[in-house]
Amino acid sequence: MDLRKHYKPVITLTAFALFLSLSFLTDFQPGIRSGKNFFSFIREMMGLLPPAFVLIGLFEVWVKREVIEKHLGEESGIKGHLWAILLAGTVVGGLYVALPLCYILQKKGASLGVIFTYLNAAAICKIPMTLFELSFLGLRFTFVRYLVSLPLLTFMAFLFGKYLGEREYRIRDGS
């Protein structure tokens, strides 16, 4: 057993804490800003992730496998991809939430193509991001971006899902 592998996170965090401490002691502004940004990010994630994971757990318990198979399974066709895009647009938390939800979707019978569509759409179709984009870049830009990106991401997700499905690929369990 390689102990360096197990102590690497501890060493990294210790070095970062030492850097922050020295930055505050010597009034090193880049280090102080880095520390403030780090703690702001931690505070934001602590407010977002616990409720998101509770909702993911409730989704796993409350939504029946038959519903997922019907709407997001192999037989769902293009409707499954559209449902995935709609679901992705409403979920907050980025990949921190999207990846565990993908795992649950696969366990409940969603097709790989639909899961890939969801994962891609989670990166580009969020409602808050769209509203921000509309206000700064305008309706035409947002419309063109969706018009180009949604068919491409759906087509690529379909191809990847078909390719990996033929090889009986499964998302591995974390254990």
Domain with 39, as residue range(s), is 1-62
Cβ(175)–Cβ(127) under 8 Å?
no
What domain count does the chain have?
A: 2
Query: Do residue 97 and residue 166 come from a single domain?
Result: yes
Indicate the burial class of 147 (C-beta count within 10 angstroms; 0-12, 13-18, 19 or more). exposed
The residue among 62, 84, 105 that closes a domain is: 62
Q: How far apart are CA 57 and CA 47, in angstroms?
A: 17
Closest CA relative to residue 42, chosen from 90, 99, 5, 96: 96
Residues of the chain with pLDDT under 50: none
Q: What is the pLDDT of residue 166?
A: 83
Q: What is the pLDDT of residue 47?
A: 87
Residue 87 and residue 171 in one domain: yes
Whether 174 and 153 map to the same domain: the answer is: yes
pLDDT of residue 116: 92
Tell me how far apart the alpha carbons of residues 153 and 168 are, in angstroms, rounded to a whole number.
22
| Domain match, 46 and 67 both | no
Round to the nearest angstrom and report the end-to-end CA distance of the chain: 19
CA distance 93 to 163: 29
Q: What pLDDT does residue 11 have?
A: 87
- Please report where in the chains the tokens 């990847």 appear, as a residue: 160
Question: Does residue 109 contact residue 65 with C-beta atoms inside 8 Å?
Answer: yes
